[in-house]
Amino acid sequence: MNRTIKICYIGGGSKLWARIFMADLAVAEGMSGEIALYDIDREAAERNAKIGARINENPKTNSVFEYKVYDRLEEALSGATFVLLSILPGTFKEMRSDVHTPEKYGIYQSVGDTAGPGGILRAMRTVPLYEEFAEKIKKICPKAWVVNFTNPMSICVKTLYDVFPEIKAFGCCHEVFHAQELLTVMLKELRGISVDRSQIYTDASGVNHFTWITEAKYQDMDLLALVPEFAAKFGEEGYFERAGEDRFAFKTDPFAYGNKMKFDLFERYGALAAAGDRHIAEFLPNNWYLKDPETVKEWQFGLTSVDWREQDQEKKIADTIEMAEGRKEFPVEKSEEEAVDMLKALLGFGTVVTNVNMPNQGQMPQMPAGSIVETNCVFSNDCVRPVVSKPLPAGVSNLVHRCCVNIDNAYEGIRERNLDKVYQAFVNQPLCNCLTIKESKELFREMCLNTRKYLEPYFDLDAYFV
């Protein structure tokens, strides 16, 4: 079987994700066609096209695609079988405001792109762009499957479905995979059984970056029952579970963590938080894990500064250039990501069950209908159907429900360009609960004005912040 497809990649100048995806696509079998790269940074897209050409020459490549760079989104979308969305709304300047301005008010954010004040501001910049994407997809390629990778995930997917309810879209994130890896590590460390995460079944549900594993089984062994034992043995020192990484990587790498927070939450709630600790912390009261840099360190994770991100980005660009120019080899091999597996299942190559973000239509009866939730879904022959998740423990359900409504309210405010409503959602972020009303208004104002370049086309800031 061979399927000829066109993939439109919005944000096709991506420094890292794009080439991981391209490699996964190359090693997969049974496809050919075109990858249409679109990016406001055309140069970056060109580099990825060049890497694509090199991939095609690699002997490990099974599926050959033509890589083309487009100037006009409409053309890139035309005829698309799939549309991938992976963009950065604004620049590091705006990200710096999102992440670091709240620190002046005592709010520390480990990521700053999903929940908390940073997440709200980022959503304000992103939703208007997604409204436009959705409109164009509706017009140009309404039958295409749309895969979102951009954060804040939930509100991006919400926008797509709100603007174009018949859209075929889902949001894809790898955070849960790491929690699955942690479970296999437990099985290995405590019972001496080595398995791949694909061999276990987990029931993860919640909202993106705040998902919870409520059931995990290998054969008839209950893996969640291992958590207390593992925590007792390794919790104090910390254990970063990522394959091929140092167990203590969290001491130096701001993307790593020691899972101490997960063990604390498991002890208190009886479910395993299923995203990296740096994400989970942002959905909880700030005094729990993000009170100050010392607290963060004590809980074995890190604050990802924008300085660090900028340096990291430069390295990635340098890498990309070297690869594009052939001075550095680009390894064509299957990654841990699953996007290509999902695409293949949609094309008719078998069935895949994995967790993605979709509007709630019954998969989480505890959550509001229509909220974007992350649960297992079945992928097969042009269909994605959500799997009903096991109910969350009441305590967790309460936290997640609040988060669903916060997201829905923030979205409503942004869609209506109503800053009053956006502020309501802003102030109701758990990370903002340490503010007085006066402080919350000041912080909101400051963050809006810092990023006014990207907000002004949509919001009447001058009228609001007289």
Closer of 14 and 440 to its own copies (Cβ): 440
Binding residues among 120-179 for its own copies as defined by CB under 8 A: 143
Active-site residue, 209 included: no
Of 176-184, 247-255, 394-402, 443-451: span binding its own copies (CB under 8 A): 394-402
Binds its own copies by CB under 8 A, chosen from 247, 291, 417, 452 = 291
Binding-site member from 35, 435, 443, 448 for its own copies (CB under 8 A): 435
Q: How many C-alpha atoms does 223 have within 13 Å on its Cβ side?
A: 27
Cα–Cα distance, 404 to 387 (Å, whole number): 18
Residue 351 found at the interface with its own copies (CB under 8 A): yes
What is the rounded CA–CA span in Å between residue 159 and residue 77? 18
Residue 181 tokens, joined: 């890896």
Whole-number Å distance between alpha carbons of 179 and 51: 31
Question: Would you put residue 326 in left (φ > 0), alpha (ψ -120 to 50) or beta?
Answer: left
For its own copies (CB under 8 A), the number of binding residues is 66
Binding span for its own copies by CB under 8 A among 17-25, 86-94, 235-243, 282-290? 282-290
- Of 14, 63, 110, 397, the residue at the interface with its own copies (CB under 8 A) is 397
Check binding of 385 to its own copies (CB under 8 A): yes
365 binds its own copies (CB under 8 A): yes
- Nearest approach in angstroms of CB 267 to its own copies is 9
Asked if 113 and 151 touch (Cβ cutoff 8 Å), the reply is yes
CB of 186 to its own copies, least distance (A): 15
Q: How far is the CB of 398 from its own copies (least distance, A)?
A: 4
Question: Helix, strand, or coil here: 174?
Answer: coil
Of 40 and 232, which has the nearer Cβ to its own copies?
232
SS (HEC) of 292-338: CHHHHHHCCCCCCCHHHHHHHHHHHHHHHHHHHCCCCCCCCCCCCCC
**Cβ pair 151, 304 in contact under 8 A:** no
Identify which of 344, 89, 46 has the alpha carbon closest to the alpha carbon of residue 35: 46
Q: Give 165 or 395: the residue with its C-beta nearer to its own copies.
A: 395
Q: Which of 83, 113, 78 is nearest to 96 (CA)?
A: 113
For its own copies, which residue of 295, 305, 313, 335 counts as binding (CB under 8 A)?
295
What is residue 186's three-state secondary structure? helix
Where does this chain touch its own copies (CB under 8 A) — which range of 84-92, 233-241, 330-338, 406-414? 406-414
Q: How far apart are the first and last CA of the chain?
A: 63
The answer to whether the Cα torsion of 266, 272, 276, 279 is positive or negative is negative
Contact between 398 and its own copies per CB under 8 A: yes
Instruction: Name which of 57 and 222 has its Cβ closer to its own copies.
Output: 222
Binding site for its own copies (CB under 8 A): 3, 143, 199-201, 203, 215, 217-220, 264, 268-269, 285, 287-288, 291, 295, 347-348, 351, 353, 361-365, 369, 376, 378, 380-383, 385-390, 394-395, 397-399, 401-402, 405-406, 408-409, 412, 420-421, 423-425, 428, 430, 433-437, 439
Would you name the residues annotated as active-site residues? 174
